[in-house]
Amino acid sequence: MALLTEEQEGMRKLVSDFAQKEIAPKAASYDLTEKFPMDNWVKMADMGLAGLPIPEKYSGAEVDTVSYVVAIEEISKACAATGAVVAIHTSAGIMPIYLFGTEEQKMKYIPDLASGKKIGAFALTEPGAGSDASRVSTTAKLDGNEYVLNGAKCFISNGGVAETYCVFATVDKSKGVKGITGFIVENGTPGFTIGKKEEKMGIRASSTTELIFENCRIPKENLLGKEGEGFKIAMVVLDSARIGIGAQAVGIAQAAYEEALKYSKVREQFGKPISALQAVSFMLADMAIQIEAARHLVYHAAALKDAGLPFGKEAAMAKTFASDTAVKVALDAIQVMGGYGYSREYPVERLLRDAKITQIYEGTNQIQRVVIAGHILK
Ligand code: COS
C-alpha cells in the first residue's frame, strides 16, 4: 500500500466503505442487464464524487489528483463500469471546460456536472479517426452567430446518458490538426442525435454510443478555446485522463487478486488449502507485485500533476502498465480458481472482461508507447 496523507487515506476509507456496501453487490447484475447504473450515479453525486478534483467554486470537492485516483480505484474495484462512468465524466467530460473554457462557460456548465446533476462526455473518436485522432472529419462551419456541425462520432462513453458533450470537429480540413476545434454541445440540440448503443465485452453497464450531427447548430459562444486549438485541448485532457484509467485498472486488478486470495485459503486440494501449494502462492505473490507497482506508477503520475510538474510520460506509463496488470491479474485469478473462476458464479470472469478495455480506451497501449517514445526521444 502506498504512503498516503491522512486526507488521501480518508478518501480511500470513505469511498471504499461506500462502494463495497452500495455498488459492489449490484455489479454482477448490471453486467448482465447492461442497464446504466443510474442509482449508483445518484448516490455518488450525493456523496460529492461527481466532481472530485473540481474547485468548490464550481460545485466540486476540490481534492487533489491523488485523492481523485484513489476514489476511482475504489469505485472500479466495486464495479468497473461505474468507475468508467465517473472517471470519464470527470476527466474527459468536465476537464476540457475547466481547463480551456471561458469563465462564462465554466459557470454555465461545470456546477451541474461537478454536482452530478448532469453527466458529461468527450467526443473525439470517429469511425476513421481512432488512434489517429488527427483525422477527425466531423465539420463545423461558422454561419452567422452559430457553428453548424455535421458528421458522426463513435464509441463515445456516457453517450446517451450525458447532457453535456465536448465535441471535436474540424473548421478547415485543409489545415489538418490545426483545423480541429472543440465545442460544447448540449443534448437535445436539434440536429444532434444519439446513434447505435454498443454491446460490449466488458464494462457493459456503461453506455457507449454513436453520436450523429446533422446540421446541428450550436451558438458561437460554445466554442471551446480558439478555432484550431481542439487537437491540443484533446491531447492535454487525455494526458491526465489516462491517470484515471490507470486507477480504474488498479481497482479491477485488486478486486481479482482479493477474490483469488480468498478462494485459495478455503479451497482444499491434496489435503490442504491451495494457498499452501507453491504453484498457487507464487502466482498470488506475482499478482501482488504487479498491482503494487501499477499503483505506485498511477499515484506517482497523479502526484506529479498535483506538484505542477510534467506528467504526460508518467501518465502514459501508468496507464499502460496498470491496464496490462489488470488483464494479467484477472487471467491469473481465473487460473487460481480453475473452473469456478471461469464460471459466472464468481466475479473474476467479469473482471477479465472489464479489464480488457483499459488497454484500449483513452489511447491504446500501442499509442501510449508512441507518447512515451516521443517524450524519451525528444
Ligand atoms: N499536449 C499538448 N500538445 C500536444 C500533445 C500533448 N500531450 N500531444 C501532441 N500535441 C500537439 C503537438 O505539439 C503538435 O502541435 P505543434 O504542431 O504546434 O507542435 C500537435 O499536437 C500534433 O502533434 P503530433 O504531430 O504529435 O500528432 P499526431 O497526429 O502524430 O498524434 C498521437 C499523436 C498519436 C499521440 C495522438 O493522435 C493520440 O493521442 N492518439 C490517440 C487518441 C486517443 O487517445 N483516443 C482515445 C479517445 S478517448 S476514448
Determine the 3-state secondary structure of 158 from DSSP.
Answer: coil
- CA of 349 from ligand 1 middle (Å) equals 35
- Dump pLDDT digits (tens) for 266-286: 999 999 999 999 999 999 999
- CA of 140 from ligand 1 middle (Å) equals 20
Mutate to test the pocket of ligand 1, among 90, 170, 231, 361 (most ligand atoms within 8 A of CB): 231
- Quick check: 210 and 152 in contact, CB under 8 A? yes
Mean per-residue pLDDT of the chain: 98
Q: What is residue 275's predicted lDDT score, i.e. its pLDDT?
A: 98
Take atom 28 of ligand 1 and give the residue whose Cα is closest: 134
Mutate to test the pocket of ligand 1, among 226, 235, 313, 375 (most ligand atoms within 8 A of CB): 235
- Rounded CA gap, 47 and 15, in Å? 9
Question: Among 198, 227, 256, where does a domain finish?
Answer: 227
Is the CB of 244 inside a 6 Å radius of any atom of ligand 1? Answer: no
Does the residue 1 lie in any domain?
no
Mutate to test the pocket of ligand 1, among 125, 175, 232 (most ligand atoms within 8 A of CB): 232
Is the CB of 297 inside a 6 Å radius of any atom of ligand 1? Answer: no
Is the CB of 361 inside a 6 Å radius of any atom of ligand 1? Answer: yes
- Dump pLDDT digits (tens) for 336-357: 999 999 999 999 999 999 999 9
Nearest to 80 by CA among 21, 19, 122, 125: 19
Q: Is 362 a residue of the active site? A: yes
- Rounded CA gap, 357 and 203, in Å? 8
Query: For residue 28, is pLDDT > 70?
Result: yes
Residues 268 and 364 in one domain: yes
Model confidence at 30, pLDDT cuts 50, 70, 90, reads very high
Residues 261 and 215 in one domain: no
- CA of 132 from ligand 1 middle (Å) equals 9
Model confidence at 2, pLDDT cuts 50, 70, 90, reads low
Residues 124 and 60 in one domain: no
Model confidence at 124, pLDDT cuts 50, 70, 90, reads very high
Query: For residue 188, is pLDDT > 90?
Result: yes
Q: What are residue 278's DSSP bridge partners? A: none
- Dump pLDDT digits (tens) for 243-257: 999 999 999 999 999
- Quick check: 52 and 71 in contact, CB under 8 A? yes
- CA of 181 from ligand 1 middle (Å) equals 13
Give the predicted TM-score (pTM) of the model: 0.97
Marked catalytic residue, from 73, 126, 314, 362: 362
What does the block give as the cell for 182? 472543440
Residues 107 and 158 in one domain: no
Q: Domain of 144?
A: 120-227
- Overall number of domains in the chain: 3
Residues 124 and 52 in one domain: no
Q: What is the mean pLDDT of residues 65-92?
A: 98
Q: What is residue 3's predicted lDDT score, i.e. its pLDDT?
A: 84
146: exposed, middle or buried (Cβ count in 10 Å: 0-12, 13-18, 19+): middle
Which CATH number does the domain housing residue 46 bear? 1.10.540.10
CA 293 to chain centre: 20
Is the CB of 367 inside a 6 Å radius of any atom of ligand 1? Answer: yes
- CA of 10 from ligand 1 middle (Å) equals 36
Q: What is the mean pLDDT of residues 225-232?
A: 98
- Rounded CA gap, 376 and 90, in Å? 29
- Dump pLDDT digits (tens) for 155-185: 999 999 999 999 999 999 999 999 999 999 9
